[in-house]
């Protein structure tokens, strides 16, 4: 009788523990927003652009899928009120990240990624796109934000043309960045050649490294750059302000950082989102820095190749052209079964990074040449999730 009573008591305790655990898990998942519709992912739907009658807006709905620095989506589009086949692209001066990108170089590279998606989508949809960069001249660097607001990055003119299948177009709907480990296999000669063919602009170079010496050296630059950035408080604060902790915040803002952008998905994503929302201290600066460094170390240890985009100078036009090449490089990689991840912290221009910035340029760039992008390249071992995007109409302005 005593054993039966003890067993019954233990069973009741177990039921209570399991019930409490189930309730806690439910609270976490509800707090995470597991039942909220993911409106921030709507632009990734292949039918999304069909809702827009204006061909310019159709193309904008493709351009916003492009890779962009810190997922700030720093684009503004002004539709020409007189010519319904013309629009102008502006850099959004209110979406800068001045701590990590003090000269807005990455913002300008992001203008190029957008424009290349526009060009590729235009051909697919039956429009020839003529892109005139800085039609009113480059910026006045003495008052950069005001100049960004006043001068367009590009004037885009559309002309009806027979639809032209572009082999890169289908890959626009895949996430541009995969931070996971890559397979150890080197790129085949055919893959390397195909990536090299992405380079089209004069004055923009593309180098691919997969020999062990350069892979090890560039991996070390990636890790060192990440460790430096992770130790700068003002940069961590800038990143914290654009981190979206749960589905509700992602639907509200639709830009910035989130857990899936760091490779956390599924059950674990919702559990972590719930925990961080309820206990924000879990996402403290030290924990985030440690995770960033560990992630980069793991990535560097599972990277068979790196690609580097360089320009002969560092003008705003050259920065945009580098971004256009980067879009083609990403899409070409996808078409070959490869993925990419920027590891460009070492190329950032704030004081703490100066020594490493100068070092990598001494190693890999001739005098006057600027390294615009450093990216990992390889075959993925796991898929990546798409990141937040704002609605296409939110980019339109007067």
Domains of the chain: 43-172+386-395 (3.40.109.10), 178-244+284-378 (3.40.109.10)
DSSP for 266-301 reads HHHHHHHHHHHHH-GGGG-HHHHHHHHHHHHHHHHT
- Categorize the per-residue pLDDT at 261 as very low, low, confident or very high, splitting at 50, 70 and 90: confident
- Categorize the per-residue pLDDT at 313 as very low, low, confident or very high, splitting at 50, 70 and 90: very high
Residue 2 has a pLDDT of 58
Residue 5 has a pLDDT of 65
Residue 264 has a pLDDT of 81
Over the chain, what is the mean pLDDT? 93
- Categorize the per-residue pLDDT at 6 as very low, low, confident or very high, splitting at 50, 70 and 90: low
Percent of the chain with pLDDT over 70: 98
What length does the chain have? 398
Place of tokens 């609605």: 391
In angstroms, rounded to a whole number, what is the distance separating the alpha carbons of residues 275 and 15?
A: 24
Which range, of 21-30, 62-71, 264-273, averages the lowest pLDDT?
21-30
Residue 263 has a pLDDT of 77
């Amino acid at each position: 009788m005593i054993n039966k009573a003890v067993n019954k008591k233990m069973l009741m305790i177990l039921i209570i523990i399991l019930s409490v655990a189930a309730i806690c898990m439910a609270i976490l998942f509800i707090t995470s927003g597991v039942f909220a519709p993911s409106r921030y992912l709507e632009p990734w739907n292949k039918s999304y652009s069909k809702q827009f009658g204006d061909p310019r807006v159709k193309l904008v709905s493709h351009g916003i899928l492009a890779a962009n620095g810190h997922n700030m989506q720093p684009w503004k589009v002004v539709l020409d009120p007189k010519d319904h086949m013309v629009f102008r692209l502006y850099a959004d001066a209110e979406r800068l990240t001045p701590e990590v990108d003090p000269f807005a170089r990455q913002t300008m590279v992001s203008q190029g990624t957008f424009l290349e998606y526009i060009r590729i989508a235009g051909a697919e949809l039956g429009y020839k796109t003529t892109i005139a960069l800085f039609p009113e001249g480059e910026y006045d660097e003495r008052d950069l934000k005001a100049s960004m607001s006043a001068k367009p990055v590009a004037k885009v003119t559309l002309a009806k043309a027979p639809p032209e299948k572009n082999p890169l177009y289908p890959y626009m709907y895949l996430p541009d960045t995969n931070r996971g480990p890559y397979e150890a296999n080197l790129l085949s000669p055919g893959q390397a050649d195909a990536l090299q063919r992405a380079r089209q602009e004069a004055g923009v170079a593309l180098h691919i490294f997969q020999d062990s010496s350069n892979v090890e050296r560039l991996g070390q630059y990636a890790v060192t750059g990440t460790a430096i950035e992770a130790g700068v408080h003002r940069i961590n604060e800038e990143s914290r302000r654009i981190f979206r902790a749960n589905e509700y915040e992602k639907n509200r803002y639709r830009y910035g950082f989130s857990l899936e952008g760091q490779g956390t998905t599924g059950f674990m994503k919702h559990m972590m989102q719930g925990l961080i929302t309820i206990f924000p201290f879990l996402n403290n600066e030290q924990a985030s820095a440690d995770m960033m460094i560990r992630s980069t170390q793991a990535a560097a240890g599972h990277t068979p190749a790196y690609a580097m985009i360089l320009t002969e100078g560092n003008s705003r036009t050259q920065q945009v052209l580098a971004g256009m090449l980067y879009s083609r490089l990403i899409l070409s990689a996808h078409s070959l079964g490869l993925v990419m991840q920027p590891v460009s912290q070492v190329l950032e221009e704030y004081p703490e990074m100066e020594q490493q910035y100068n070092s990598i340029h001494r190693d890999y760039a001739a005098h006057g040449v600027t390294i615009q992008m450093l990216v990992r390249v390889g075959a993925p071992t796991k898929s990546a999730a798409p990141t937040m995007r704002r609605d296409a109409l939110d980019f339109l302005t007067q």
